């Protein structure tokens, strides 16, 4: 069993990189990708420990992008096997994305304060390391009694449909695909179900467009995918010659219903052959 999608506390997970390596070994995960949002810091920190302990650690990253289709108009792109250390160009781009988060975070604070929420940026930033994301805001809102749990914090304050929601800068998905490829990586569409494209024909057409823009794979196996979704995405991958990936999207205590390796209610058991196939094509 392998897991190619996980987050450490360098982005918006709660496990430190070392704890994540430990957990992977405990749970019998044969290969683990750390795919933090916008940073390699978690992967870099975990690598020596993984080598010592005999865990096959894969370098990944997850980027939030604008998509010209779907209900949410946003989609996540995973990148695997980027040249390490990453090119100066790619690292400079990540710095820009993190600066875009800072700008969003300042506007989000203003928006929340406008609605009478007593919250200040430093108390949120204290919970983050390389970056501060909405899950850190959720944690503060819960601690201060504004929400009972993450769901409520996103529904009332942080999610796309909340009155206090603010957008952050995101590159178009085609640009992100190109940048991952230029940095030597394999661009993969993360959890396609979250694009929210209801019509299967429109969904397939959109994935084909991404393939034409340079996409190399799709995340067929994911905690949010039902068996029928995995089947549909598997068929699309075969039809368009896209590589298949999969992972739990583990975020630690920030998404307690997701387990490393086995996903949501045990819906994942991804074989090592998936990784071998990826490597053969990287
Ligand atoms: P950000 O990248 O800072 O805009 O925050 C997005 C992150 O918030 C996602 O990667 C998820 O980890 C998390 N997230 C988004 N929606 C929810 C939700 N409804 N409940 C819990 N976590 C969420
Ligand atoms: Fe996240
Ligand atoms: Fe994601
Ligand atoms: Zn993720």
Cβ 219 under 6 angstroms from ligand 1: no
The alpha carbon of 224 and the centre of ligand 2 are apart by a number of angstroms equal to 13
Q: Which helix (H) or strand (E) holds 190?
A: none
Tokens of 171: 């590159």
Cβ 37 under 6 angstroms from ligand 1: yes
- Give buried/exposed letters for 51-81 (b at 16+ CB in 10 A, else e): eeeebebbbbbbbbbbbebbeeebbbbbbbb
Cβ 39 under 6 angstroms from ligand 1: no
Q: pLDDT by residue (tens digit) across 125-166?
A: 999 999 999 999 999 999 999 999 999 999 999 999 999 999
Cβ 252 under 6 angstroms from ligand 1: no
Mutate which of 11, 14, 133, 168 to test ligand 1's pocket (most atoms within 8 Å of Cβ)? 133
| Nearest protein CA to atom 6 of ligand 1, as residue | 134
Taken in order of first residue, the domains within the chain and their CATH numbers are 2-86+172-280 (3.20.20.140), 95-158 (1.10.150)
Tokens of 121: 């940026």
Contact 219, 228 (CB under 8 A): no
| Nearest protein CA to atom 11 of ligand 1, as residue | 135
pLDDT at 72 over 90: no
Q: pLDDT by residue (tens digit) across 169-207?
A: 999 999 999 999 999 999 999 999 999 999 999 999 999
Q: pLDDT by residue (tens digit) across 18-52?
A: 999 999 999 999 999 999 999 999 999 999 999 99
Distance CA 120, CA 112 (A): 9
The alpha carbon of 113 and the centre of ligand 4 are apart by a number of angstroms equal to 28
The alpha carbon of 217 and the centre of ligand 3 are apart by a number of angstroms equal to 15
> What is the full DSSP assignment across 193-205?
GGG---SHHHHHH
The alpha carbon of 240 and the centre of ligand 2 are apart by a number of angstroms equal to 28
* Max CA separation in the chain (angstroms): 54
Name the band, by pLDDT with cuts 50, 70 and 90, for residue 69: confident
Ligand closest to 194 (CA) is 3
Cβ 137 under 6 angstroms from ligand 1: no
Q: pLDDT by residue (tens digit) across 215-256?
A: 999 999 999 999 999 999 999 999 999 999 999 999 999 999
The alpha carbon of 264 and the centre of ligand 1 are apart by a number of angstroms equal to 17
Beta strands (DSSP E) in the chain are 2-3, 31-34, 56-66, 74-80, 186-189, 217-222, 243-247, 258-259, 263-264
Output the pLDDT for position 21. Answer: 98
Listed residue (232, 262, 234) closest to 250, CA to CA: 262
Ligand closest to 5 (CA) is 4
Cβ 12 under 6 angstroms from ligand 1: yes
Tokens of 99: 């600066």
Nearest atom of ligand 1 to the alpha carbon of 168: 4
């Amino acid at each position: 069993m392998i897991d190619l999608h996980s987050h450490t506390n360098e982005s918006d997970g709660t496990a430190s990189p070392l704890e994540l390596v430990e957990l992977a070994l405990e749970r019998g995960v044969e290969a683990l990708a750390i795919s933090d949002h916008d940073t390699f810091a978690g992967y870099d920190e975990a690598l020596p420990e993984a080598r010592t302990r005999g865990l096959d650690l894969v370098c990944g990253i997850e980027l939030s992008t604008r998509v010209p289709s779907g209900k949410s108009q946003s989609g996540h792109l995973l990148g695997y096997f980027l040249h390490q250390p990453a090119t100066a160009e790619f690292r400079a781009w990540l710095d820009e994305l993190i600066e875009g988060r800072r700008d969003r975070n300042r506007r989000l604070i203003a928006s929340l304060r406008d609605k009478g929420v007593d919250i200040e940026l430093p108390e949120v930033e204290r919970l983050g390391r390389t970056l501060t994301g909405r899950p850190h805001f959720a944690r503060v809102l819960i601690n201060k009694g504004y929400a009972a749990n993450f769901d409520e914090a996103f529904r009332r304050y942080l999610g796309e449909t909340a009155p206090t929601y603010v957008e952050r800068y995101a590159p178009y998905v085609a640009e992100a695909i190109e940048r991952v490829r230029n940095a030597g990586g394999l661009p993969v569409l993360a959890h396609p179900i979250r694009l929210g494209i209801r019509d299967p024909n429109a969904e397939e057409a959109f994935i084909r467009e991404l393939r034409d823009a340079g996409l190399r794979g799709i995340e067929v196996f994911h905690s949010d995918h039902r068996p029928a979704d995995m089947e549909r995405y598997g068929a699309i991958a075969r039809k368009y010659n896209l590589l298949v990936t999969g992972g739990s999207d583990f975020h630690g205590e920030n998404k307690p219903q997701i387990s490393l390796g086995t996903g949501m209610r045990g819906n994942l058991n991804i074989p090592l052959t998936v990784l071998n196939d990826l490597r053969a094509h990287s």
